[in-house]
Structure 1
Amino acid sequence: MSLHEITKMEGGSTSSKAGGSSATDRICSSSEMVQLIQKVIAEAIGTYMLIFAGCGSVVVNKIYGSVTFPGICVVWGLIVMVMIYSLGHISGAHFNPAVTITHSIFRRFPLKQVPLYILAQFLGSILASATLCGIFTVHKEDFFGTVPTGSNLQSLVIEIIISFLLMFVICGVATDNRAIGELAGIAVGMTILLNVLVAGPVSGASMNPARSLGPALIVHVYKGLWVYIIGPPIGTIFGALAYHIIRFTDKPLREITKSSSFLKSMSRE
Protein backbone atom coordinates (compact mmCIF):
# COMPACT_ATOMS: atom_id res chain seq x y z
CA MET A 1 0.00 0.00 0.00
CA SER A 2 1.41 3.39 -0.99
CA LEU A 3 2.02 6.25 1.36
CA HIS A 4 -0.56 8.30 -0.55
CA GLU A 5 -3.26 5.65 0.03
CA ILE A 6 -2.41 5.42 3.72
CA THR A 7 -2.68 9.21 4.00
CA LYS A 8 -6.10 9.12 2.32
CA MET A 9 -7.31 6.42 4.69
CA GLU A 10 -6.15 8.40 7.70
CA GLY A 11 -7.83 11.49 6.35
CA GLY A 12 -11.08 9.59 5.78
CA SER A 13 -10.96 8.15 9.27
CA THR A 14 -10.47 11.60 10.75
CA SER A 15 -13.34 13.03 8.73
CA SER A 16 -15.59 10.21 9.84
CA LYS A 17 -14.76 10.89 13.47
CA ALA A 18 -15.36 14.58 12.97
CA GLY A 19 -18.68 13.82 11.31
CA GLY A 20 -19.67 11.53 14.16
CA SER A 21 -18.74 14.17 16.71
CA SER A 22 -20.79 16.74 14.80
CA ALA A 23 -23.79 14.41 14.73
CA THR A 24 -23.46 13.84 18.47
CA ASP A 25 -23.34 17.59 19.07
CA ARG A 26 -26.45 18.01 16.95
CA ILE A 27 -28.28 15.33 18.95
CA CYS A 28 -27.31 16.96 22.25
CA SER A 29 -28.30 20.37 20.95
CA SER A 30 -31.60 18.99 19.66
CA SER A 31 -32.33 17.37 23.04
CA GLU A 32 -31.70 20.64 24.86
CA MET A 33 -33.95 22.47 22.42
CA VAL A 34 -36.75 19.95 22.93
CA GLN A 35 -36.47 20.34 26.70
CA LEU A 36 -36.61 24.12 26.38
CA ILE A 37 -39.69 23.92 24.16
CA GLN A 38 -41.34 21.61 26.70
CA LYS A 39 -40.60 24.11 29.48
CA VAL A 40 -41.98 27.04 27.52
CA ILE A 41 -45.15 25.13 26.61
CA ALA A 42 -45.57 24.11 30.26
CA GLU A 43 -45.28 27.75 31.34
CA ALA A 44 -47.86 28.83 28.77
CA ILE A 45 -50.30 26.07 29.77
CA GLY A 46 -49.77 26.64 33.48
CA THR A 47 -50.30 30.40 33.20
CA TYR A 48 -53.35 29.83 31.01
CA MET A 49 -54.95 27.54 33.60
CA LEU A 50 -53.98 29.90 36.40
CA ILE A 51 -55.71 32.86 34.77
CA PHE A 52 -58.64 30.85 33.46
CA ALA A 53 -59.50 29.40 36.88
CA GLY A 54 -58.57 32.38 39.05
CA CYS A 55 -60.01 35.13 36.87
CA GLY A 56 -62.85 32.82 35.88
CA SER A 57 -63.95 32.67 39.50
CA VAL A 58 -63.98 36.48 39.54
CA VAL A 59 -66.13 36.63 36.39
CA VAL A 60 -68.58 34.00 37.62
CA ASN A 61 -68.91 35.77 40.96
CA LYS A 62 -69.55 39.16 39.33
CA ILE A 63 -72.11 37.80 36.88
CA TYR A 64 -73.85 35.16 38.99
CA GLY A 65 -72.76 36.03 42.53
CA SER A 66 -72.28 32.38 43.47
CA VAL A 67 -68.58 32.15 44.34
CA THR A 68 -68.12 34.84 47.04
CA PHE A 69 -64.85 36.57 47.88
CA PRO A 70 -63.52 33.80 50.17
CA GLY A 71 -64.31 31.33 47.39
CA ILE A 72 -62.25 33.36 44.93
CA CYS A 73 -59.33 33.30 47.37
CA VAL A 74 -59.57 29.52 47.67
CA VAL A 75 -59.70 29.10 43.88
CA TRP A 76 -56.50 31.11 43.43
CA GLY A 77 -54.71 29.10 46.09
CA LEU A 78 -55.90 25.76 44.73
CA ILE A 79 -55.08 26.43 41.08
CA VAL A 80 -51.55 27.54 41.98
CA MET A 81 -51.05 24.43 44.09
CA VAL A 82 -52.41 22.10 41.39
CA MET A 83 -50.27 23.64 38.64
CA ILE A 84 -47.11 23.44 40.77
CA TYR A 85 -47.72 19.74 41.37
CA SER A 86 -48.52 19.17 37.69
CA LEU A 87 -45.79 21.19 35.97
CA GLY A 88 -43.20 22.03 38.61
CA HIS A 89 -40.93 19.15 37.58
CA ILE A 90 -41.00 20.32 33.94
CA SER A 91 -40.58 24.09 33.97
CA GLY A 92 -40.21 25.00 37.63
CA ALA A 93 -43.79 26.33 37.65
CA HIS A 94 -43.01 30.05 37.58
CA PHE A 95 -46.17 31.27 35.80
CA ASN A 96 -45.06 34.77 36.78
CA PRO A 97 -42.57 37.10 35.04
CA ALA A 98 -41.58 38.61 38.39
CA VAL A 99 -40.60 35.17 39.73
CA THR A 100 -38.69 34.31 36.54
CA ILE A 101 -36.76 37.59 36.59
CA THR A 102 -35.92 37.21 40.27
CA HIS A 103 -34.69 33.63 39.87
CA SER A 104 -32.47 34.84 37.03
CA ILE A 105 -31.03 37.71 39.07
CA PHE A 106 -30.05 35.30 41.83
CA ARG A 107 -28.68 32.83 39.25
CA ARG A 108 -31.27 30.18 39.93
CA PHE A 109 -32.45 30.32 36.32
CA PRO A 110 -30.61 30.78 32.97
CA LEU A 111 -30.74 34.36 31.75
CA LYS A 112 -31.08 33.28 28.11
CA GLN A 113 -34.38 31.50 28.87
CA VAL A 114 -35.99 34.50 30.59
CA PRO A 115 -37.47 36.13 27.43
CA LEU A 116 -39.06 32.85 26.30
CA TYR A 117 -40.56 32.20 29.73
CA ILE A 118 -41.98 35.72 29.99
CA LEU A 119 -43.39 35.51 26.46
CA ALA A 120 -45.06 32.19 27.28
CA GLN A 121 -46.51 33.58 30.51
CA PHE A 122 -47.97 36.66 28.83
CA LEU A 123 -49.31 34.55 25.96
CA GLY A 124 -51.00 32.16 28.39
CA SER A 125 -52.59 35.05 30.26
CA ILE A 126 -53.85 36.74 27.09
CA LEU A 127 -55.30 33.51 25.68
CA ALA A 128 -57.03 32.69 28.98
CA SER A 129 -58.49 36.19 29.17
CA ALA A 130 -59.71 35.94 25.60
CA THR A 131 -61.29 32.56 26.39
CA LEU A 132 -63.18 34.01 29.35
CA CYS A 133 -64.44 36.90 27.23
CA GLY A 134 -65.53 34.40 24.58
CA ILE A 135 -67.44 32.25 27.08
CA PHE A 136 -68.98 35.06 29.12
CA THR A 137 -70.35 38.43 28.16
CA VAL A 138 -67.86 40.59 30.03
CA HIS A 139 -68.68 44.27 30.40
CA LYS A 140 -66.37 46.89 31.89
CA GLU A 141 -68.09 46.52 35.27
CA ASP A 142 -67.39 42.77 35.15
CA PHE A 143 -63.66 43.32 34.61
CA PHE A 144 -61.69 40.42 36.02
CA GLY A 145 -58.31 42.14 36.00
CA THR A 146 -56.74 44.19 38.78
CA VAL A 147 -57.59 47.83 39.42
CA PRO A 148 -56.60 49.88 42.48
CA THR A 149 -59.63 50.66 44.64
CA GLY A 150 -57.74 53.38 46.50
CA SER A 151 -54.72 55.37 45.40
CA ASN A 152 -52.11 53.94 43.06
CA LEU A 153 -49.46 54.42 45.73
CA GLN A 154 -51.46 52.40 48.25
CA SER A 155 -51.86 49.52 45.81
CA LEU A 156 -48.19 49.74 44.81
CA VAL A 157 -47.03 49.36 48.41
CA ILE A 158 -49.41 46.45 48.99
CA GLU A 159 -48.30 44.69 45.81
CA ILE A 160 -44.66 45.04 46.83
CA ILE A 161 -45.35 43.60 50.29
CA ILE A 162 -47.41 40.61 49.18
CA SER A 163 -44.99 39.86 46.32
CA PHE A 164 -42.18 40.00 48.89
CA LEU A 165 -43.98 37.38 50.97
CA LEU A 166 -44.69 35.21 47.94
CA MET A 167 -41.05 35.15 46.81
CA PHE A 168 -39.81 34.69 50.37
CA VAL A 169 -41.90 31.51 50.64
CA ILE A 170 -40.88 30.32 47.17
CA CYS A 171 -37.21 30.65 48.12
CA GLY A 172 -37.83 28.74 51.33
CA VAL A 173 -39.60 25.76 49.78
CA ALA A 174 -38.27 25.64 46.25
CA THR A 175 -34.64 26.80 46.23
CA ASP A 176 -33.49 25.49 49.61
CA ASN A 177 -32.40 21.86 49.41
CA ARG A 178 -33.30 21.34 53.07
CA ALA A 179 -36.97 22.11 52.45
CA ILE A 180 -39.41 19.29 51.73
CA GLY A 181 -40.21 19.46 48.00
CA GLU A 182 -43.62 17.84 48.38
CA LEU A 183 -44.78 20.77 50.51
CA ALA A 184 -43.84 23.42 47.94
CA GLY A 185 -47.21 23.42 46.20
CA ILE A 186 -49.15 23.62 49.45
CA ALA A 187 -46.97 26.39 50.90
CA VAL A 188 -47.09 28.58 47.79
CA GLY A 189 -50.81 27.93 47.29
CA MET A 190 -51.59 28.89 50.88
CA THR A 191 -49.46 32.02 50.51
CA ILE A 192 -51.46 33.06 47.45
CA LEU A 193 -54.72 32.41 49.31
CA LEU A 194 -53.53 34.48 52.28
CA ASN A 195 -52.35 37.36 50.08
CA VAL A 196 -55.62 37.48 48.13
CA LEU A 197 -57.62 37.49 51.38
CA VAL A 198 -55.65 40.43 52.72
CA ALA A 199 -54.93 42.51 49.61
CA GLY A 200 -57.68 41.46 47.21
CA PRO A 201 -60.17 44.17 48.19
CA VAL A 202 -57.50 46.89 47.89
CA SER A 203 -55.25 46.13 44.93
CA GLY A 204 -56.69 42.91 43.53
CA ALA A 205 -53.66 40.99 44.85
CA SER A 206 -51.98 40.50 41.49
CA MET A 207 -48.37 39.64 42.48
CA ASN A 208 -47.96 38.85 38.80
CA PRO A 209 -47.57 41.23 35.81
CA ALA A 210 -48.96 38.59 33.45
CA ARG A 211 -52.08 38.17 35.60
CA SER A 212 -52.83 41.90 35.24
CA LEU A 213 -51.68 42.58 31.69
CA GLY A 214 -53.65 39.79 29.97
CA PRO A 215 -57.12 40.88 31.14
CA ALA A 216 -56.22 44.56 30.63
CA LEU A 217 -55.31 44.01 26.98
CA ILE A 218 -58.43 41.96 26.22
CA VAL A 219 -61.00 44.11 28.07
CA HIS A 220 -59.16 47.41 27.46
CA VAL A 221 -59.05 48.55 31.07
CA TYR A 222 -55.68 50.10 31.86
CA LYS A 223 -56.29 52.05 35.05
CA GLY A 224 -53.27 51.75 37.34
CA LEU A 225 -51.74 49.02 35.18
CA TRP A 226 -48.21 50.31 35.82
CA VAL A 227 -48.65 49.40 39.49
CA TYR A 228 -48.89 45.72 38.60
CA ILE A 229 -46.03 45.87 36.11
CA ILE A 230 -43.37 47.30 38.44
CA GLY A 231 -44.74 46.43 41.91
CA PRO A 232 -44.44 42.61 41.86
CA PRO A 233 -40.86 42.50 40.49
CA ILE A 234 -39.71 44.95 43.17
CA GLY A 235 -41.36 42.83 45.86
CA THR A 236 -40.03 39.51 44.58
CA ILE A 237 -36.47 40.80 44.26
CA PHE A 238 -36.47 42.13 47.83
CA GLY A 239 -38.16 38.95 49.05
CA ALA A 240 -35.45 36.76 47.52
CA LEU A 241 -32.73 39.08 48.82
CA ALA A 242 -34.12 38.94 52.36
CA TYR A 243 -34.30 35.15 52.31
CA HIS A 244 -30.76 34.80 50.99
CA ILE A 245 -29.43 37.19 53.64
CA ILE A 246 -30.89 35.26 56.55
CA ARG A 247 -30.16 31.90 54.96
CA PHE A 248 -26.57 32.23 53.85
CA THR A 249 -24.76 34.48 56.29
CA ASP A 250 -24.29 35.29 59.93
CA LYS A 251 -22.45 38.54 59.22
CA PRO A 252 -23.76 41.84 60.57
CA LEU A 253 -25.54 44.12 58.11
CA ARG A 254 -22.65 46.60 58.20
CA GLU A 255 -20.28 44.01 56.74
CA ILE A 256 -22.81 42.88 54.15
CA THR A 257 -23.32 46.37 52.76
CA LYS A 258 -19.58 47.07 52.59
CA SER A 259 -18.57 43.99 50.64
CA SER A 260 -19.65 42.55 47.33
CA SER A 261 -18.16 39.15 48.17
CA PHE A 262 -21.35 38.20 50.00
CA LEU A 263 -23.48 38.57 46.89
CA LYS A 264 -20.94 36.52 44.96
CA SER A 265 -21.08 33.78 47.57
CA MET A 266 -24.90 33.78 47.41
CA SER A 267 -24.83 33.25 43.68
CA ARG A 268 -22.57 30.22 44.09
CA GLU A 269 -24.85 28.52 46.62
Structure 2
Amino acid sequence: MFRWLNLLLLFSFIKYSETTIVGNISIHVTGQKGENTTLPCDIKARDIFHVILTRLSKNIPVCETEDCSGRVFTKGSCDVVIKDLSFSDAGKYILRVYYNNAPEPQIREYHLQIHAGTSVKKGEDLELDVLLINADKVERSSSSGWTELWTRGHGVSSDRLTDRDGNLTIHEFTVNDTGTYRVLDSEGEILITVTVTESRTDSGSPGERKDDTAHKSWIIGLSVIGALAALVLLGFIIFVAIRKYQCPNGDYMEGHQRTEEPGL
Protein backbone atom coordinates (compact mmCIF):
# COMPACT_ATOMS: atom_id res chain seq x y z
CA MET A 1 0.00 0.00 0.00
CA PHE A 2 2.69 2.46 1.03
CA ARG A 3 4.84 1.36 -1.91
CA TRP A 4 2.11 2.26 -4.39
CA LEU A 5 1.53 5.58 -2.62
CA ASN A 6 5.22 6.47 -2.89
CA LEU A 7 5.22 5.60 -6.60
CA LEU A 8 2.18 7.80 -7.12
CA LEU A 9 3.82 10.73 -5.31
CA LEU A 10 7.02 10.25 -7.33
CA PHE A 11 5.06 10.23 -10.60
CA SER A 12 3.19 13.39 -9.58
CA PHE A 13 6.47 15.16 -8.77
CA ILE A 14 8.01 14.17 -12.12
CA LYS A 15 4.87 15.31 -13.96
CA TYR A 16 4.84 18.67 -12.15
CA SER A 17 8.55 19.21 -12.89
CA GLU A 18 7.98 18.51 -16.57
CA THR A 19 5.10 20.98 -16.87
CA THR A 20 7.08 23.78 -15.25
CA ILE A 21 10.30 23.20 -17.17
CA VAL A 22 9.04 22.45 -20.68
CA GLY A 23 8.91 25.65 -22.73
CA ASN A 24 10.77 27.62 -20.08
CA ILE A 25 13.14 29.98 -21.95
CA SER A 26 15.28 32.58 -20.17
CA ILE A 27 15.43 35.84 -22.15
CA HIS A 28 17.58 38.87 -21.31
CA VAL A 29 15.95 42.21 -22.05
CA THR A 30 17.43 45.70 -21.65
CA GLY A 31 15.61 49.01 -21.41
CA GLN A 32 16.39 52.69 -20.93
CA LYS A 33 15.07 54.40 -17.81
CA GLY A 34 12.00 56.50 -18.64
CA GLU A 35 11.32 54.66 -21.91
CA ASN A 36 9.33 51.54 -22.85
CA THR A 37 10.52 47.96 -23.30
CA THR A 38 8.95 44.73 -24.56
CA LEU A 39 9.08 41.23 -23.11
CA PRO A 40 8.71 39.07 -26.26
CA CYS A 41 6.90 35.78 -25.84
CA ASP A 42 7.47 34.40 -29.40
CA ILE A 43 4.39 32.19 -29.14
CA LYS A 44 1.86 31.76 -31.95
CA ALA A 45 -1.56 33.21 -31.26
CA ARG A 46 -3.44 29.92 -31.26
CA ASP A 47 -6.41 30.17 -28.92
CA ILE A 48 -4.59 32.17 -26.24
CA PHE A 49 -7.15 33.19 -23.65
CA HIS A 50 -5.08 34.40 -20.70
CA VAL A 51 -1.58 35.56 -19.71
CA ILE A 52 -0.18 35.94 -16.20
CA LEU A 53 2.95 37.97 -15.46
CA THR A 54 4.63 37.55 -12.09
CA ARG A 55 7.60 39.19 -10.41
CA LEU A 56 8.94 38.53 -6.92
CA SER A 57 6.09 36.00 -6.48
CA LYS A 58 3.45 38.68 -7.13
CA ASN A 59 1.08 38.93 -10.07
CA ILE A 60 1.36 42.11 -12.14
CA PRO A 61 -1.86 43.49 -13.68
CA VAL A 62 -1.62 43.27 -17.49
CA CYS A 63 -4.00 45.25 -19.71
CA GLU A 64 -5.22 43.77 -23.00
CA THR A 65 -4.60 47.05 -24.85
CA GLU A 66 -2.38 50.12 -24.51
CA ASP A 67 -5.39 52.33 -23.79
CA CYS A 68 -5.53 51.67 -20.07
CA SER A 69 -4.41 53.34 -16.87
CA GLY A 70 -1.77 50.70 -16.13
CA ARG A 71 1.86 50.64 -17.19
CA VAL A 72 1.82 47.03 -18.49
CA PHE A 73 -0.16 45.78 -21.50
CA THR A 74 -0.05 43.05 -24.14
CA LYS A 75 0.79 43.62 -27.80
CA GLY A 76 0.46 41.19 -30.68
CA SER A 77 -0.17 37.60 -29.63
CA CYS A 78 1.28 37.80 -26.11
CA ASP A 79 4.21 40.26 -26.03
CA VAL A 80 4.18 42.33 -22.84
CA VAL A 81 5.09 46.04 -22.92
CA ILE A 82 6.22 47.91 -19.80
CA LYS A 83 5.93 51.68 -20.08
CA ASP A 84 8.01 54.44 -18.44
CA LEU A 85 10.68 52.18 -16.98
CA SER A 86 12.11 52.89 -13.55
CA PHE A 87 14.95 51.24 -11.65
CA SER A 88 12.44 49.32 -9.53
CA ASP A 89 11.28 47.44 -12.67
CA ALA A 90 14.63 45.63 -12.99
CA GLY A 91 14.76 41.94 -12.24
CA LYS A 92 13.26 38.56 -13.11
CA TYR A 93 9.79 38.10 -14.65
CA ILE A 94 7.79 34.93 -15.33
CA LEU A 95 5.17 34.94 -18.11
CA ARG A 96 2.58 32.14 -18.30
CA VAL A 97 0.54 31.90 -21.47
CA TYR A 98 -2.65 29.80 -21.22
CA TYR A 99 -4.49 28.20 -24.16
CA ASN A 100 -8.10 27.10 -24.41
CA ASN A 101 -7.32 23.47 -25.26
CA ALA A 102 -4.07 22.96 -23.32
CA PRO A 103 -3.96 21.99 -19.63
CA GLU A 104 -0.53 23.50 -19.03
CA PRO A 105 0.73 27.01 -19.92
CA GLN A 106 3.71 27.97 -22.01
CA ILE A 107 6.28 29.61 -19.72
CA ARG A 108 8.80 32.33 -20.48
CA GLU A 109 11.37 33.70 -18.04
CA TYR A 110 12.88 37.17 -18.49
CA HIS A 111 15.64 39.15 -16.86
CA LEU A 112 15.13 42.89 -17.33
CA GLN A 113 18.15 45.21 -17.03
CA ILE A 114 17.69 48.99 -16.80
CA HIS A 115 20.23 51.44 -18.25
CA ALA A 116 20.56 55.13 -17.34
CA GLY A 117 22.99 58.03 -17.44
CA THR A 118 23.50 61.01 -15.17
CA SER A 119 25.95 63.88 -14.61
CA VAL A 120 27.03 65.54 -11.36
CA LYS A 121 28.86 68.76 -10.57
CA LYS A 122 32.17 68.47 -8.78
CA GLY A 123 31.74 68.78 -5.02
CA GLU A 124 28.04 67.89 -5.00
CA ASP A 125 26.45 64.64 -3.79
CA LEU A 126 25.58 61.83 -6.21
CA GLU A 127 22.40 60.03 -5.15
CA LEU A 128 21.49 56.73 -6.83
CA ASP A 129 18.12 55.11 -6.00
CA VAL A 130 19.42 51.65 -6.88
CA LEU A 131 19.25 49.66 -3.65
CA LEU A 132 16.29 47.54 -4.71
CA ILE A 133 14.76 44.79 -2.64
CA ASN A 134 16.42 42.25 -4.97
CA ALA A 135 19.78 44.07 -5.11
CA ASP A 136 22.73 42.21 -3.61
CA LYS A 137 25.76 44.27 -4.65
CA VAL A 138 26.73 47.65 -6.16
CA GLU A 139 30.02 47.99 -8.05
CA ARG A 140 31.91 50.71 -9.92
CA SER A 141 34.27 50.20 -12.84
CA SER A 142 37.92 51.10 -12.28
CA SER A 143 41.28 50.57 -13.96
CA SER A 144 41.78 47.38 -11.94
CA GLY A 145 38.30 45.96 -12.59
CA TRP A 146 35.13 46.31 -10.55
CA THR A 147 35.21 47.83 -7.05
CA GLU A 148 32.50 46.94 -4.51
CA LEU A 149 30.75 49.97 -3.03
CA TRP A 150 27.88 48.26 -1.24
CA THR A 151 26.86 44.69 -0.40
CA ARG A 152 23.71 43.45 1.28
CA GLY A 153 24.34 42.61 4.90
CA HIS A 154 27.59 44.59 5.06
CA GLY A 155 26.55 48.03 3.85
CA VAL A 156 28.86 50.62 2.30
CA SER A 157 32.60 50.19 1.85
CA SER A 158 33.67 53.81 2.50
CA ASP A 159 32.79 56.70 4.81
CA ARG A 160 32.14 58.81 1.69
CA LEU A 161 29.11 56.59 1.03
CA THR A 162 25.77 56.38 2.81
CA ASP A 163 22.94 53.88 2.49
CA ARG A 164 19.55 55.32 3.37
CA ASP A 165 15.96 54.63 2.25
CA GLY A 166 17.04 52.62 -0.78
CA ASN A 167 19.46 55.28 -1.99
CA LEU A 168 23.23 55.01 -2.29
CA THR A 169 24.80 58.46 -1.90
CA ILE A 170 28.37 59.42 -2.82
CA HIS A 171 29.37 62.61 -1.00
CA GLU A 172 31.50 65.40 -2.52
CA PHE A 173 31.65 64.03 -6.05
CA THR A 174 35.10 64.07 -7.72
CA VAL A 175 36.41 63.25 -11.18
CA ASN A 176 37.55 59.87 -9.87
CA ASP A 177 33.90 58.98 -9.17
CA THR A 178 32.96 59.11 -12.86
CA GLY A 179 32.45 55.83 -14.67
CA THR A 180 30.01 52.93 -14.87
CA TYR A 181 28.05 51.69 -11.87
CA ARG A 182 26.16 48.41 -11.85
CA VAL A 183 23.78 46.65 -9.48
CA LEU A 184 23.76 42.85 -9.24
CA ASP A 185 21.26 40.43 -7.75
CA SER A 186 22.11 37.40 -5.61
CA GLU A 187 22.64 35.27 -8.75
CA GLY A 188 25.15 37.70 -10.25
CA GLU A 189 22.70 39.00 -12.87
CA ILE A 190 22.96 42.71 -13.68
CA LEU A 191 19.87 44.68 -12.62
CA ILE A 192 20.93 48.28 -13.29
CA THR A 193 23.75 49.99 -15.17
CA VAL A 194 24.35 53.72 -14.66
CA THR A 195 26.94 55.80 -16.52
CA VAL A 196 28.05 58.79 -14.42
CA THR A 197 29.88 61.81 -15.88
CA GLU A 198 31.02 65.14 -14.49
CA SER A 199 28.81 68.12 -15.30
CA ARG A 200 30.82 70.97 -16.86
CA THR A 201 28.10 73.60 -16.37
CA ASP A 202 29.13 76.30 -13.85
CA SER A 203 32.07 74.14 -12.81
CA GLY A 204 34.69 75.43 -10.42
CA SER A 205 34.53 76.97 -6.95
CA PRO A 206 32.69 80.27 -6.26
CA GLY A 207 36.06 82.03 -6.00
CA GLU A 208 37.17 80.64 -9.36
CA ARG A 209 33.91 81.68 -11.01
CA LYS A 210 34.25 85.19 -9.49
CA ASP A 211 37.80 85.53 -10.80
CA ASP A 212 36.73 84.31 -14.22
CA THR A 213 33.88 86.84 -14.30
CA ALA A 214 36.24 89.66 -13.29
CA HIS A 215 38.70 88.60 -16.00
CA LYS A 216 35.95 88.64 -18.62
CA SER A 217 34.76 92.07 -17.42
CA TRP A 218 38.32 93.43 -17.65
CA ILE A 219 38.64 92.15 -21.23
CA ILE A 220 35.28 93.68 -22.19
CA GLY A 221 36.34 97.01 -20.63
CA LEU A 222 39.56 97.06 -22.64
CA SER A 223 37.62 96.27 -25.80
CA VAL A 224 35.25 99.19 -25.19
CA ILE A 225 38.14 101.60 -24.48
CA GLY A 226 39.92 100.43 -27.63
CA ALA A 227 36.80 100.99 -29.71
CA LEU A 228 36.33 104.52 -28.32
CA ALA A 229 40.00 105.36 -28.97
CA ALA A 230 39.64 104.16 -32.56
CA LEU A 231 36.56 106.34 -33.04
CA VAL A 232 38.39 109.41 -31.62
CA LEU A 233 41.38 108.79 -33.89
CA LEU A 234 39.13 108.38 -36.91
CA GLY A 235 37.32 111.61 -36.08
CA PHE A 236 40.63 113.47 -35.74
CA ILE A 237 41.83 112.18 -39.13
CA ILE A 238 38.57 113.27 -40.79
CA PHE A 239 38.83 116.71 -39.16
CA VAL A 240 42.43 117.20 -40.39
CA ALA A 241 41.47 116.09 -43.89
CA ILE A 242 38.59 118.57 -44.05
CA ARG A 243 40.76 121.47 -42.82
CA LYS A 244 43.46 120.60 -45.33
CA TYR A 245 40.90 120.67 -48.12
CA GLN A 246 39.35 124.01 -47.02
CA CYS A 247 42.57 125.99 -46.56
CA PRO A 248 43.64 126.26 -50.32
CA ASN A 249 40.14 127.33 -51.32
CA GLY A 250 40.14 130.02 -48.65
CA ASP A 251 43.44 131.48 -49.93
CA TYR A 252 42.17 131.58 -53.52
CA MET A 253 38.99 133.43 -52.58
CA GLU A 254 40.88 135.92 -50.46
CA GLY A 255 43.35 136.70 -53.32
CA HIS A 256 40.53 137.00 -55.86
CA GLN A 257 38.75 139.53 -53.71
CA ARG A 258 41.95 141.59 -53.35
CA THR A 259 42.52 141.81 -57.15
CA GLU A 260 39.02 143.15 -57.75
CA GLU A 261 39.07 145.93 -55.15
CA PRO A 262 41.13 148.52 -57.16
CA GLY A 263 38.61 148.49 -60.02
CA LEU A 264 35.71 149.56 -57.88
Report the TM-score range of the alignment, normalised by the length of the smaller protein.
under 0.3
Larger relative strand fraction: 2
Rg comparison, structure with higher value: 2
Using CA pairs under 8 Å that are at least 6 residues apart, name the structure with larger relative contact order, 1 or 2. 1
* TM-score normalised to structure 1 length: 0.25
